[in-house]
Amino acid sequence: MPSPPPERAAVVLSRREFDAALFDLDGVVTRTAQVHAAAWKRLFDTYLERSGEPFQPFSEEDYQRFVDGRPRLDGIRCFLASRGLSLPEGSPEDGPDARTVWGLGKRKNGYFLETLKQRGVEVYPHAVALLERLRAAGFRTAVVSASRNCEAVLRAAGLEPLFDARVDGVEAGRLGLPGKPAPDTFLEAGRRLGVPPERAVVLEDAQAGVQAGRRGRFGCVIGVRRAGPVGALVRAGAHLEVTDLSTVTVEEGGQ
């Protein structure tokens, strides 16, 4: 599939070319990416202030490069490595105060759930409208998220009926699947829908996610740019980049 410019006025998804659409959750369908980003910043800024190293706060660029779209523990490892830091792995039994990778993961999840309880779940209306149009046109849909809170977020937002399959952090852990940028979770979603990669569209807002889509050889990878520089998702591997899912139109018609 040829690579168009990073921005364009409209994207057409046709049933002649595709049978399924695989959506990331945070930042594509729900506004919980902002809640995640705030939880990560709170976690890492507190840790860095106490590390004994010169304090350089966790930035939006750090979030996009090292954390966004990755499984929680991978994000911790990647960011710490970027600062020349490391922690013992620990174990799943570690509490949120443990100075281990698992401990930091527990603490971050606590921050996320605390903020989610206060704010609730907001959705992107154009993403929900696109899901409804896709399903009306006969597309199968799946949500593919690194989050272990995916099911709770879907339920809170009332989005469960819009997806035929869910592959999230819990499922990836149960099946031993590596997280994004590895393509395995997207490939598992396609398998559950009975759709080969070349007949599926991936919609992602994270660089790790679009990399996963390209590595999985999916028919089309759409980068949904909610923040960051123009073209960054195309450079990471997206076939094209949009800022608003209202520009994605759906065309019916069989193969």
Do 52 and 23 lie in a common domain?
no
Domain assignment present for residue 191? The answer is yes
What is the percent of the chain where pLDDT is above 70? 95
205 catalytic per annotation: no
Other CB atoms within 10 A of residue 42 CB: 17
Do 113 and 72 lie in a common domain?
yes
**For residue range 167-204, what is the model confidence (pLDDT) as tens digits?**
999 999 999 999 999 999 999 999 999 999 999 999 99
Question: Do residues 222 and 239 lie in contact, with contact meaning Cβ atoms separated by under 8 Å?
Answer: yes
26 catalytic per annotation: yes
Q: What is the pairing mode between strands 220-224 and 200-204? A: parallel
Do 166 and 111 lie in a common domain?
no
Mean pLDDT of 13-34: 92
Is residue 252 predicted with pLDDT exceeding 90?
Answer: no
Q: Which domain holds residue 67?
A: 34-119
pTM: 0.76
What pLDDT, on a 0 to 100 scale, did the predictor assign at position 189? 98
Q: How confident is the model at residue 254 (pLDDT cuts 50, 70, 90)?
A: low
Do 141 and 102 lie in a common domain?
no
Whole-number Å distance between alpha carbons of 214 and 64: 18
What pLDDT, on a 0 to 100 scale, did the predictor assign at position 148? 87
Q: Which of 19, 24, 94, 205 is catalytic?
A: 24
Do 111 and 130 lie in a common domain?
no
Q: Which of 26, 68, 94, 205 is catalytic?
A: 26
Do 196 and 171 lie in a common domain?
yes
**For residue range 130-174, what is the model confidence (pLDDT) as tens digits?**
999 999 999 999 999 988 889 988 988 899 999 999 999 999 999
Q: Which residues lie below 8 Å from residue 117, measured CB to CB, with a gap of 6+?
A: none
Is residue 236 predicted with pLDDT exceeding 50?
Answer: yes
Please say which residue of 96, 119, 142 terminates a domain.
119
Do 135 and 219 lie in a common domain?
yes
DSSP-based three-state secondary structure for 22: strand
- More confident call, 222 vs 72: 222
pLDDT, the chain, mean: 90
What pLDDT, on a 0 to 100 scale, did the predictor assign at position 121? 85
Q: Across the beta sheet with 20-23, what order do the strands follow? A: 165-167, 140-144, 20-23, 200-204, 220-224, 240-242
Do 51 and 174 lie in a common domain?
no
- More confident call, 163 vs 8: 163
Do 27 and 82 lie in a common domain?
no
Domain assignment present for residue 5? The answer is no
Do 38 and 51 lie in a common domain?
yes
Is residue 21 predicted with pLDDT exceeding 90?
Answer: yes
Q: How confident is the model at residue 2 (pLDDT cuts 50, 70, 90)?
A: very low
Mean pLDDT of 195-220: 96
Do 102 and 151 lie in a common domain?
no
